Amino acid sequence: MTTAVKTQKNALTRGLAKAALLSGVLGAGFFAGLSAASAATLTVWSGYPEMAPFYEHVAEGLKAAHPDLTVKVEAIALREHEKRIALGLTSGSAGPLIIELPGSTASRYIENELLPAAPDDVSAFVKDPANFGQFFIDAVSKDGVVYGVPLFRGQGSLFYNTDMFAAAGLTEPPKTMEEYSQYAEKLTQRDANGNPTVSGWSMRLSGGGQGIAEKFWINLFQYGGNVLVQSADGKWKADYANEAGRKALKQYLENVHTLKTVTPEMPADAEAFERGQTAMFIRESWVIGDIASKAPDLKYATAPLPRGSIALPTNLYVSAEGDDAKLAWEYTQAANSPENLVWLLQNVGWLPNRSGVDYSVVTDKVPAFGAFVNYPEGYEFFTLPAIGPIEEVLTRLAAQLTNAFGNAALAGDDAAIDAFLKTAADETNQILAREDLLAQ
**CA geometry: angle 40, 347, 63, nearest 5 deg:** 20
- What pLDDT shows up at residue 180? 98
Taking the CB of residue 256, how many other CB atoms lie within 10 A of it?
A: 22
Mean pLDDT score of the chain: 88
pLDDT surpassing 90 at residue 31: no
Angstrom distance (rounded) from CA 398 to CA 387: 18
Longest dimension (CA), the chain: 81
- What pLDDT shows up at residue 112? 84
- What pLDDT shows up at residue 95? 60
- Give the mean model confidence (pLDDT) for residues 201-212: 85
- Give the mean model confidence (pLDDT) for residues 254-267: 95
pLDDT surpassing 90 at residue 15: no
- Give the mean model confidence (pLDDT) for residues 205-218: 87
pLDDT surpassing 80 at residue 178: yes
pLDDT surpassing 50 at residue 259: yes
- CB neighbours of 296 closer than 8 A, spacing ≥ 6? none
pLDDT surpassing 80 at residue 158: yes
Cβ burial, residue 88 (10 Å; 0-12/13-18/19+) = buried
- Give the mean model confidence (pLDDT) for residues 38-45: 78
pLDDT surpassing 70 at residue 303: yes
This prediction's pTM:
0.77
- What pLDDT shows up at residue 92? 61
In tens, the pLDDT along 213-249 reads 999 999 999 999 999 999 999 899 999 999 999 999 9
- What pLDDT shows up at residue 386? 79
Q: What percent of the chain has pLDDT over 70?
A: 89
Instruction: Please report which confidence band the pLDDT of residue 1 belongs to, taking 50, 70 and 90 as the band edges.
Output: very low
Report CA-CA distances (Å) from 257 to 184, 250, 419, 422.
13, 10, 19, 22
- What pLDDT shows up at residue 103? 84
- What pLDDT shows up at residue 85? 87
HSE at residue 168, side-chain half, CA atoms within 13 A, is 22
Q: What percent of the chain has pLDDT over 90?
A: 67
In tens, the pLDDT along 84-113 reads 888 877 766 556 689 999 887 888 888 888
Report CA-CA distances (Å) from 153 to 67, 84, 278, 305, 351.
31, 21, 25, 16, 5
Q: Which of 108-112, 187-191, 319-323 has the lowest mean pLDDT?
A: 319-323
- Highest mean predicted confidence (pLDDT) among 210-214, 220-224, 286-290: 220-224
pLDDT surpassing 50 at residue 3: no
pLDDT surpassing 60 at residue 4: no
- What pLDDT shows up at residue 41? 85
- CB neighbours of 366 closer than 8 A, spacing ≥ 6? 288, 292
**Better pLDDT: 395 or 388:** 395
Q: Which of 91-100, 164-173, 254-263, 371-380 has the lowest mean pLDDT?
A: 91-100
- Give the mean model confidence (pLDDT) for residues 320-333: 86
Instruction: Please report which confidence band the pLDDT of residue 6 belongs to, taking 50, 70 and 90 as the band edges.
Output: very low
**Better pLDDT: 388 or 416:** 416
pLDDT surpassing 50 at residue 37: no
- What pLDDT shows up at residue 189? 98
